[in-house]
Amino acid sequence: MKRIFQILPVFILGSFLLFSFINPIEKASYKCMIQLKNYTGEGAYIVISLLNPEEEYVETLYVQGKDSEWYSEIAQWWKFYGKRRPDIDAISGATISGGERVINLIQIPKDKIDQGYFIRFETAVEDQEYYVKDLQFELTSENLKGKKEGSGFIRYVRLLPQ
Amino acid sequence: MTNSFWRYSHLLLAGTSALFLIIASVTGVILACEPIADQSQSYKVVDLENVSTATAIIALQKEYDEVLSLQVTSNDEVITSVITEDGISEEIYVNPTNGRRLGKVKERHPLFIWTTNLHRSLFLKSLGRIFVGIISLLLCFIAVTGLLVLIQRQGGLLKLYSKVKERDFNQRYHVILGRWLLIPLIIIACTGVYLSLEKFDLIPVHQAELDWSKEPVLPVHYQGLSKIAFFKELKLNEVRQITFPFSEDELDYYEFNLKTRDLLVHQYSGEIISDIEQPFSLLLSRWSFNLHTGTGSILWSLILLVASASILFFIFSGLMLFIKRRRLSDKITTVSDKDESEIIILVGSESGQTYAFARHITQELIQQGKSVFVSSLNKYTSYKKATHLLVLTATYGDGDAPTNARHFLSLLSTIHQPHPIQFAVLGFGSMDYKHYCRFAIKVDTSLQDHHSFAPLIPLEKINEQSEKQLNAWLEKWYAAIGAHHKSYQSKKKDITFAEFKVIERTALNLDQTFLLKLRHDHNQTCQSGDIIHIKAPKTDKPRAYSIARIEDDIVLSIKKHDHGICSSYLSDLQLGDTVHAYIEENAHFHLPLNPESIIFISNGTGIAPFLGMIPNLIDNGQQFQFFWGGGRFKESVELYQPYLPITVGAQSSSVHLTYSRAPQQKYVQHEIWDQRKLIAARLHNGCHIMICGSMAMKDDVIDLLEKISIQENHTALTYYESRGQIHIDCY
């Protein structure tokens, strides 16, 4: 019995490690619709990021805007992304203009849901404002089903689990 | 004045923007290749007008897990954004009838992305865009000012596409390419400006918004999309984009962006929930974009490519023209305003040498800080600030005024000068003539009699352009006006005589006239209208004759004078003999390039240059009128028959021959008067008149033309002279 107690932590630890290797962080797909307000001017650059409970960037989920020339204008995110600039081709799309909407698919790591993490929508328009927190909310199962109002260029965002 | 205004504007605009235009045009050429490359590998598989949106939507939803949007490109391809069974979102080309995947939407080639950035913002972001926008605007102005210059040059809007007169390669193709590429260039520039204005929010947009909050009214009986009239009837060719409903919720609608409208459509009933018309500015913007980028049309892309590339040529040829003009204007200091100049130089002569001389004086005086205005005696007018007048004039015939001085004496008595002016007259002539410098003397006395003019130094007559005489007099005159003179040397080329071989000489006809055909061993560059100077043995001075160039030979028409040394010598030449001579270029009497039509007027041996010109016109199918006051007899013309293959009346060209003895007893002047309506009309249309023959005939003919011009066209003949339509070569 004593032996079992000695082995158990090792076993648990081992199986946990094994489990985490076999089964990498599982991701959930969400359909995400962004509806912009009816402003005039260029298309808006929108960056969707995952933030930890300390509001530090963890992962880029989606970038609306293909022209990397302007990425540095999204200042806060650029501090995180600009250092290493990983390839984001697969998670980027064209900008949309005022009044338009776009539907994308974003992948959210399941283990971050309901763990105090945040999802942030950052927006910037050429020669206009830059909103660090156009929209930011806690990553909870409840929040991931609803409709959230933005405070900058975003009118609202709707999410729907796939 | 307006002429140079538009030219200077054109030059200034082009000069300031050249560097940026080079960047824009090079990148433009590269970018024009993109739509061409895109269309060469098209994913268009069906005619979209045969595919209903119902078919496409059903097919896509069956084939894929989830469809987010569908987009129809301007090349009629269908792109859709879908989520596949593996949960991956993809943008792909599909066949809209069965939803099958045709290929993945490729990213734009990095070269094109890079080039686009350079093209629209020079990598300077917003600042660069402002720059490029301004350059586009300048390009607009350049094109428009270019058009105005061109209209002036061609002589009116209607003649814009008539023949180009310019000979110089750069100038010629600047004009030819310019008038054809003007339209695409203006379109490129204007659309570029529009796109820039839009970027900077300077185009007012009143965009209505689709109302997502409206709720449906119609009841729903959903039996599939294929049963709904809206989806069945709407074909894909009318669609730009369809955004699929976000969820299955009844309040999530389809968004349709059609060519001119945007709609929200209920996903189960087909009810149109919201319907807005796209504002005009949006359509304009889309048009601008397509026209500017060539999207959707290979043909237009090609035109854009050519137009873009042509900008490089325009910059190059424009620069060459500018340099050339600069070099010329260093020589010809065309001066300023008649009312701003202290010294007025009036020229009465058609010889280039006198003008060259006037320019030399002008340049010298300007370097010494004087203001000088040069013009012809015919353009005599009032001069507000003038203190000195210098007249340089030749004399024609029996003391007559040269053509560009004919009106001076009458003008002198009618025009009032605001201030007294000190004058000096310099006459050019040759002591060989009886009335040596007589016109210069007339001018001098008339000026002395005029109360506004006071003599500065006495008249001087210059014999045979003697430079010694000239310099001596100039020194006096310069001293009198308070300037310094450096010795003047004309840039006369060294003359080298050559041997010409006689290959034909006709016998004398009834008018004592004969033809001489000469050949030079080396290739000659001479043209009909040039002058040959032949030196008879044991004489000092050569005699001048107008020539016709017929193939590689030179033909002269000579009248034998009983005491003429040279003509007698020439009339005795035998085949194979050689004559000692040189050819002087006489550019103002060459056949004008691409004229509307030409009227040739000559008498006696003045026919010579026309013998070479007329066959040229006939070959080119151009119109001409030929007047010849022959000799005294009907037979006189027979001498020239071999060189005049004229069928009278062909292609509204005509030949009018007159002779002074019975039975006709007509002079060429009578025939001209008879044809006055035709001549006036031709003159009005830009026809050139070339006159060659005796001085007496020239005077009569000029008076006659003056009369015709005023009576029929209400225009002074000087108007046509100033447009270079009148060419005179008389002796």
Q: Are the beta carbons of B511 and B640 closer than 8 angstroms?
A: no
- Six token digits for residue B459: 């008249």
Name B97's Cβ contacts closer than 8 Å, sequence gap at least 6.
B46, B51, B55, B56, B59
CATH code for position B434: 3.40.50.360
> Which of B289-293, B319-323, B604-608 is most confident?
B289-293
A88 in contact with B at a CB cutoff of 8 Å? no
**Residue B615: band (very low, low, confident or very high) from pLDDT cuts 50, 70, 90:** confident
pLDDT of the residue at A13: 61
The answer to the question of residue A54 being in a domain is yes
Q: What's the rounded Cα separation, in Å, for the pair B242 and B233?
A: 15
Query: Do B546 and B620 have their domain in common?
Result: no
**Residue B190: band (very low, low, confident or very high) from pLDDT cuts 50, 70, 90:** very high
Query: Do B364 and B463 have their domain in common?
Result: yes
Model pLDDT for residues B1-21, shown as the tens digit of each residue: 445 678 788 888 888 889 899
Range of the domain at A41: 25-161
Residue B286, CA distances (Å) to B278, B293, B295, B300, B303 in order: 11, 11, 10, 15, 19
End-to-end CA distance of chain B: 35
pLDDT of the residue at B328: 54
**Residue A11: band (very low, low, confident or very high) from pLDDT cuts 50, 70, 90:** low
B240 in contact with A at a CB cutoff of 8 Å? no
Query: Do B508 and B428 have their domain in common?
Result: no
Identify the closest residue of chain B to A33 by CA–CA distance: B246
Please determine, for residue B245, whether its predicted confidence score (pLDDT) is greater than 60. Answer: yes
**Cα torsion through B45, B48, B53, B55, rounded to 10:** -50
The answer to the question of residue A83 being in a domain is yes
pLDDT of the residue at B641: 80
The answer to the question of residue B407 being in a domain is yes
The answer to the question of residue B260 being in a domain is no
Rg over CA atoms, chain A: 19
Query: Do B596 and B557 have their domain in common?
Result: no
Residue B207, CA distances (Å) to A95, A150, B252, B265 in order: 18, 21, 22, 19
Q: Are the beta carbons of A40 and A98 closer than 8 angstroms?
A: yes
CATH code for position B576: 2.40.30.10
**Residue B332: band (very low, low, confident or very high) from pLDDT cuts 50, 70, 90:** very low
Label each residue of B626-639 as H, E or C. EEEECCCCHHHHHH
Last residue of a domain, one of B588, B612, B637: B588
Please determine, for residue B153, whether its predicted confidence score (pLDDT) is greater than 80. Answer: no
pLDDT of the residue at B300: 93
Taking an 8 Å cut-off on Cβ atoms, the answer to whether B207 and A160 are in contact is no
CATH code for position B663: 3.40.50.80
A contacts of B87 (beta carbons < 8 Å): 29, 105, 162
The answer to the question of residue A151 being in a domain is yes
> Which residue from B63, B90, B93, B53 is spatially nearest to B75, judged by alpha carbons?
B93
Model pLDDT for residues B441-499, shown as the tens digit of each residue: 999 999 999 988 999 888 888 877 777 778 888 888 988 888 877 766 665 555 778 88
pLDDT of the residue at A50: 95
Q: Are the beta carbons of B628 and B670 closer than 8 angstroms?
A: no
For B414, what's the count of Cα atoms within 13 Å in the CB-facing half-sphere?
A: 8
Taking an 8 Å cut-off on Cβ atoms, the answer to whether A127 and B126 are in contact is yes
Residue with tokens 């010298």: B364
Q: Long-range pairs for B294-302 at CB < 8 Å and ≥24 separation?
A: B294/B32, B294/B35, B294/B36, B295/B35, B295/B74, B296/B35, B296/B73, B296/B74, B296/B75, B297/B35, B298/B35, B298/B36, B298/B39, B301/B32, B301/B33, B301/B35, B301/B36, B301/B39, B302/B32, B302/B36
**Residue B264: band (very low, low, confident or very high) from pLDDT cuts 50, 70, 90:** very high
> Which residue from A40, A124, A39 is spatially nearest to B198, judged by alpha carbons?
A40
Question: Per-residue pLDDT averaged across B586-605, rounded?
Answer: 82
Query: Do B116 and B7 have their domain in common?
Result: yes
Q: What's the rounded Cα separation, in Å, for the pair B135 and B126?
A: 14
Number of Cβ within a 10 Å radius of residue A68:
13
**Residue B331: band (very low, low, confident or very high) from pLDDT cuts 50, 70, 90:** very low
Label each residue of B81-97 as H, E or C. EEECCCCCEEEEEECCC
The answer to the question of residue B396 being in a domain is yes
**Residue A108: band (very low, low, confident or very high) from pLDDT cuts 50, 70, 90:** very high
Last residue of a domain, one of B420, B448, B481: B481
Model pLDDT for residues B676-720, shown as the tens digit of each residue: 888 898 888 888 899 988 877 887 888 889 899 889 888 888 778
Residue burial B233-258, b: 16+ Cβ < 10 Å; e: rest? ebbbebbbebbbbbeeeeebbbbbbe
The answer to the question of residue B248 being in a domain is no
Q: Are the beta carbons of B544 and B731 closer than 8 angstroms?
A: yes
Taking an 8 Å cut-off on Cβ atoms, the answer to whether A101 and B243 are in contact is yes
pLDDT of the residue at B333: 45
pLDDT of the residue at B543: 82
- The predicted complex's ipTM stands at 0.79
Please determine, for residue B626, whether its predicted confidence score (pLDDT) is greater than 80. Answer: yes
Q: Which helix (H) or strand (E) holds A84?
A: helix A75-84
B209 in contact with A at a CB cutoff of 8 Å? yes
Question: Per-residue pLDDT averaged across B119-148, rounded?
Answer: 89
Identify the closest residue of chain B to A39 by CA–CA distance: B207
Taking an 8 Å cut-off on Cβ atoms, the answer to whether A89 and B107 are in contact is yes
Please determine, for residue B351, whether its predicted confidence score (pLDDT) is greater than 70. Answer: no
Please determine, for residue B262, whether its predicted confidence score (pLDDT) is greater than 60. Answer: yes
The answer to the question of residue A31 being in a domain is yes
pLDDT of the residue at B468: 75
Range of the domain at B156: 2-40+110-204+299-322
Q: What's the rounded Cα separation, in Å, for the pair B602 and B409?
A: 28
B contacts of A127 (beta carbons < 8 Å): 126, 200
Q: Long-range pairs for B561-564 at CB < 8 Å and ≥24 separation?
A: B561/B512
The answer to the question of residue B444 being in a domain is yes
The answer to the question of residue A12 being in a domain is no
Question: Per-residue pLDDT averaged across B213-217, rounded?
Answer: 89
**Residue B390: band (very low, low, confident or very high) from pLDDT cuts 50, 70, 90:** very high
Model pLDDT for residues A39-91, shown as the tens digit of each residue: 887 889 999 999 999 999 999 999 999 888 889 889 999 999 988 888 888 88
Q: How many domains does chain A have?
A: 1
Query: Do B675 and B614 have their domain in common?
Result: yes
- Six token digits for residue B129: 């865009």
Q: For residues B320 and A16, which has the higher predicted lDDT (pLDDT)? A: B320
pLDDT of the residue at B165: 62
Query: Do B517 and B476 have their domain in common?
Result: no
Instruction: Report which residue type is found at B611.
Output: L
DSSP B524-563: P---TT-EEEEE-TT-SS-EEEE-EEETTEEEEEEEPPTT
The answer to the question of residue A8 being in a domain is no
Q: Are the beta carbons of B408 and B400 closer than 8 angstroms?
A: no
Residue A87, CA distances (Å) to A67, A68, A93, B89, B104 in order: 13, 11, 13, 17, 18
A94 in contact with B at a CB cutoff of 8 Å? no
A70 in contact with B at a CB cutoff of 8 Å? yes
Region of residue A156 (phi > 0: left; psi between -120 and 50: alpha; otherwise: beta)? beta
pLDDT of the residue at B631: 72
> Which residue from B244, B237, B234 is spatially nearest to B296, judged by alpha carbons?
B237
Query: Do B412 and B508 have their domain in common?
Result: no
Name B103's Cβ contacts closer than 8 Å, sequence gap at least 6.
B43, B92, B93
- Six token digits for residue B223: 């039996």
Best mutation target among B88, B89, B256 (most A Cβ atoms within 10 Å) is B89
Residue B644, CA distances (Å) to B414, B611, B626, B629 in order: 47, 7, 11, 15
Last residue of a domain, one of B588, B607, B625: B588
Q: What's the rounded Cα separation, in Å, for the pair B170 and B636?
A: 46
Please determine, for residue B587, whether its predicted confidence score (pLDDT) is greater than 90. Answer: no
- Six token digits for residue A130: 């830059």
Q: What's the rounded Cα separation, in Å, for the pair B609 and B693?
A: 10
Average pLDDT value over all residues in chain B:
84
Q: For residues B630 and B361, which has the higher predicted lDDT (pLDDT)? A: B361
Q: What's the rounded Cα separation, in Å, for the pair B307 and B181?
A: 6
Residue burial B567-603, b: 16+ Cβ < 10 Å; e: rest? bebbbebeeeeebebbbeebeebbbbeebbbbbbbbb
Backbone angles phi, psi at B113, to 5 degrees: -65, -45
Taking an 8 Å cut-off on Cβ atoms, the answer to whether A42 and B199 are in contact is yes
The answer to the question of residue B487 being in a domain is no
Q: How many domains does chain B have?
A: 4
Query: Do B619 and B653 have their domain in common?
Result: yes
The answer to the question of residue A18 being in a domain is no
Q: For residues B161 and B166, which has the higher predicted lDDT (pLDDT)? A: B161
Instruction: Report which residue type is found at B50.
Output: N
Model pLDDT for residues B44-54, shown as the tens digit of each residue: 888 999 999 99
- State percent of chain B over pLDDT 90: 26
CATH code for position A145: 2.60.40
CB contacts < 8 A, A to B, total 51
Instruction: Report which residue type is found at B311.
Output: I
pLDDT of the residue at B1: 41
- Six token digits for residue B1: 């004045």
The answer to the question of residue A14 being in a domain is no
Nearest to A105 among B89, B207, B247 (CB): B89
Query: Do B343 and B434 have their domain in common?
Result: yes
- Six token digits for residue B349: 């002569």
